């Protein structure tokens, strides 16, 4: 179906399904089964339920506490294109709300980018992903980069960047995981994924004991690849160009695809791509 409109009848139907006790996931599946495009169906569900259901009733649909709780970078907008982040002023190049994505410029100096690359270089190994089935880290074909983690404040440049990010995003430094450095060689990529931990997976409760869910990510570009390597958000049709010193920030107020936070690193086609990623948890990560 190429053109799909959210009519008043559809809104009424969604509300009636909610009133009958069906979960949003069940309603979404029913809409997909009858030909609705997934992202349009998710949007219709979100907006209809937000508008029609009184959060005070606690019916479990709109997760009102989640929608209203503080989130990293919540007050950032393009209306304030320069944000004071302690030791540096950072530029807001683009901001959008759904998915919540902000592109920053001039977050790191060229010297800081080079220092992080030099410090990480000797410690790189094939990247792993946290396997939510078991809670352990594993090598995964979806992620063909090489990487390493710095301990919190392991070097002065790490401590400086961590403090800058905490200030910029107004999120406690203690809630951040250690900086991760990734190197993508030509052909390497990170296929689209969510950074939050899937609540349905058996390993997730173990992972969440340390700091709770991830609620936001920032990918800082340490160099400008010769070609390829954009960070992509398929649900938004958005591609962010990797440019040295810039960064893409995105948040997800609940661990659900409705956040549209699906994202990936497109294959690098020439040269290398280096990034520093920081994931933010809802609580102290220690
Ligand atoms: O390097 C990227 O562009 C990228 C894309 C998707 C990094 C991550 N995810 C990540 O580190 O989570
Ligand atoms: Zn990611």
Q: For the segment 63-117, what is each residue's pLDDT rounded down to a tens digit?
A: 444 456 799 999 999 999 999 999 999 999 999 999 999 999 999 999 999 999 9
Using the predicted structure, report yes or no on whether residue 44 has a pLDDT greater than 90: no
Could you give phi then psi for residue 127, rounded to 5 degrees? -65, 145
Find, among 55, 52, 32, 54, the residue nearest to 42 by Cα.
Answer: 32
Using alpha carbons only, give the angle 211, 215, 221 rounded to the nearest 5 degrees. Answer: 110
Peptide bond into 99 cis (omega under 30): yes
Ligand 2 center to 191 CA (angstroms):
9
The model's pLDDT over 243-262, given as tens digits with 9 standing for 90+, comes to: 999 999 999 999 999 999 99
> What per-residue confidence (pLDDT) applies to 71?
98
Find, among 161, 137, 260, the residue nearest to 219 by Cα.
Answer: 161
* For the CA of 184, the nearest atom of ligand 1: 1
Q: What is the CATH number of domain 82-281?
A: 2.60.120.620
The model's pLDDT over 116-160, given as tens digits with 9 standing for 90+, comes to: 999 999 899 987 766 666 666 655 667 888 999 999 999 999 999
Ligand 2 center to 24 CA (angstroms):
25
**Any idea which ligand is nearest the CA of 278?**
1
The model's pLDDT over 169-181, given as tens digits with 9 standing for 90+, comes to: 999 999 999 999 9
In angstroms, the CA 248 to CA 262 distance is 13
* For the CA of 275, the nearest atom of ligand 1: 1
What tokens were used for 146?
A: 């090489």
Residue 3: CA count within 13 A, CB half-sphere: 0
* Residue with CA nearest ligand 1 atom 10: 277
Using the predicted structure, report yes or no on whether residue 230 has a pLDDT greater than 80: yes
Q: Which of 29-43, 222-236, 251-265 has the lowest mean pLDDT?
A: 29-43
Residues 131 and 180: beta-carbon distance below 8 Å? no
Q: What would the mean pLDDT of 204-212 be, rounded to a whole number?
A: 97
What tokens were used for 153?
A: 């404040």
Domain residue limits, the chain: 8-57, 82-281
């Amino acid at each position: 179906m190429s053109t799909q409109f959210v009519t008043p009848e559809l809104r009424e139907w969604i509300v009636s399904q909610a009133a009958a006790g069906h979960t949003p996931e069940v309603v979404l599946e029913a809409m997909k089964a009858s030909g609705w495009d997934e992202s349009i169906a998710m949007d219709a569900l979100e907006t209809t339920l937000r508008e029609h259901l009184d959060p005070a009733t606690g019916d479990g649909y709109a997760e009102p506490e989640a929608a209203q709780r503080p989130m990293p970078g919540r007050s950032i907008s393009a209306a304030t294109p320069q944000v004071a982040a302690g030791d540096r002023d950072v530029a807001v190049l683009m901001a959008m709300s759904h998915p919540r994505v902000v592109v920053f410029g001039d977050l790191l100096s060229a010297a800081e980018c080079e220092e992080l690359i030099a410090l990480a270089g000797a410690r790189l190994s094939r990247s792993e992903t946290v396997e939510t089935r078991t809670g352990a880290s594993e090598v995964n074909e979806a992620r063909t980069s090489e990487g390493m983690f710095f301990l919190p404040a392991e070097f002065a440049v790490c401590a400086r960047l961590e403090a800058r990010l905490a200030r910029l995003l107004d999120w406690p430094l203690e809630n951040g995981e250690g900086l991760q450095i990734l190197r993508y060689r030509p052909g390497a990529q990170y296929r689209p994924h969510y950074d939050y931990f899937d609540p349905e997976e058996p390993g997730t409760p173990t992972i969440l004991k340390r700091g709770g869910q991830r609620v936001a990510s920032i990918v800082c570009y340490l160099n400008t690849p010769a070609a390829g390597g954009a960070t992509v958000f398929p649900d938004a049709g958005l591609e962010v160009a990797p440019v040295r010193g810039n960064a893409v920030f995105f948040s997800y107020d609940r661990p659900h695809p409705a956040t549209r936070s699906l994202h990936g690193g497109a294959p690098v086609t020439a040269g290398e791509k280096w990034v520093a990623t920081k994931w933010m948890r809802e609580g102290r990560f220690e």
